[in-house]
Amino acid sequence: MDYIIVNIILLILIPVISLNLIIFDIYKAVIANLLLHTASQIAFILHVESAIKGYKIKIKKKILYLFLLNVVVLILTILNVRIIGYETTINRIAAIIIEAKDASYYSDVLIVKWISSILLMLHLIRICIKNIKESITIKRKRLYKFWVLTYCIINIETALIGSMYYLGVFDEAFSNNINMIIRINIGLNLVFLLINPAILNYIPGISELSIFKRVSKKNYFLIIKKAIEKQKLYLQPKLTIKEIETITGVSVKNIRAAILLNTKNNFNDYINEIRINYGTKLIADGFLNKHTTIALGHKCGFSSHQTFFRAFKKKHSSTPKQYYLENS
């Protein structure tokens, strides 16, 4: 499933839960919505990164850990276990969300949510700035960059204003103004999601002005190569060409053709060559000083040490051990 679809589903669930159609405890509904919003931000980040790089990105461990932290804090809050337990006032909470059980009930969830939101948006800004210039899938790079950065700024501003008011930086007399600013930011957030280029791309007339460009066949290999190397897919012993098709969106037929045209190898030989290059680097880094050649093969993604030995000998005209002794 495309990440943008996941993002939309999660955002639809937020008002559904708020109407108590699924969860009837209003306090748990608020907490669940905060978690859903974090999940939707993660899905949005994965969507943008995938759109820029031209292939389906896997969720990074640091983002997964950040989400799991939010889940743990949510569970602890439901169980009435407080870690931070910052006590504000009911009026401040009402200005940010709605009613609360007590002045510290939402503290852990809110503070972790705001920190997570800021970190996620900074991560997205970094991804956009770092990769947008090299993108072969984005046609109108400045416009796309402006759209992404504006979305990030709105989310960071919302998190900063909400957290500073909650923590008492702003006077409580400004509660109406704070509430209005947060609502405006939420509205702007929704507008920017609705004008998502991936969604507009399917609307007749507007699609002609799309910021995306059709990837030509000559760029297929670049997308395939980036996906395999950047995500280290070659380390998966049972990697198949079908998985590459799912990740890149390039058909199996075109994957085979692109690899053959650019490397003169078939798919398996191409993957094995990448693995051998990685294994050669590990040897240079001293991997065989403490490990066996069989362990080296497994480390490089080979499921069989015989296949590893054959591929290594084909590349270097020597066994891994011989190569190690000759170059140590």
pLDDT for residue 91: 59
User: Tokens 């058909």 — which residue?
Assistant: 251
Hunting for tokens 């003169």 — which residue is that?
A: 264
Q: Where would I find the H helices in 167-219?
A: 175-194, 197-200
Q: What is the pLDDT of residue 211?
A: 46
Q: Both tokens of residue 32?
A: 């669940």
Residues contacting residue 311 through CB under 8 Å, at least 6 positions apart: 269, 272, 273, 275, 276, 302
154-182 burial: b if 16+ Cβ within 10 Å, else e: bbbbbbebbbebbeeebeeeebeebeebb
| Half-sphere exposure of residue 176: CA atoms within 13 angstroms, side-chain side | 1
Structure tokens at 182: 């947060």
Residue 209 is predicted with a pLDDT of 41
Can you read off the two tokens belonging to residue 110? 């809110």
Angle separating helix axes 3-18 and 26-53, nearest 10 degrees? 170
CA nearest neighbour of 171 among 65, 95, 101 = 95
CA distance 288 to 291: 5
Report mean pLDDT in 10-residue bins for the chain, 328 residues.
Answer: 81 76 63 85 90 83 93 87 72 58 73 92 92 81 86 88 75 68 73 63 43 61 88 90 86 88 90 93 88 90 90 89 83
- Rounded to 5 degrees, φ, ψ at 304 are -130, 130
- How many CA atoms, within 13 angstroms, populate the side-chain half-sphere of residue 131? 21
What pLDDT is attached to residue 231?
Answer: 85
Which CB contacts under 8 angstroms, 24+ apart, belong to 6-9?
6/40, 6/43, 7/40, 7/43, 7/44, 7/47, 7/193, 8/193
Architecture of domain 217-327: Orthogonal Bundle (1.10)
Whole-angstrom distance, CA of residue 105 vs CA of residue 109: 9
Burial of 136 (0-12, 13-18, 19+ CB in 10 A): middle
CA 157 to each of CA 69, 79, 175: distance values in angstroms, whole numbers, following the listed order: 22, 31, 16
Rounded alpha-carbon distances, angstroms, from residue 56 to 159, 245, 246: 28, 10, 8
- CA-nearest of 302, 262, 261 to 282 is 302
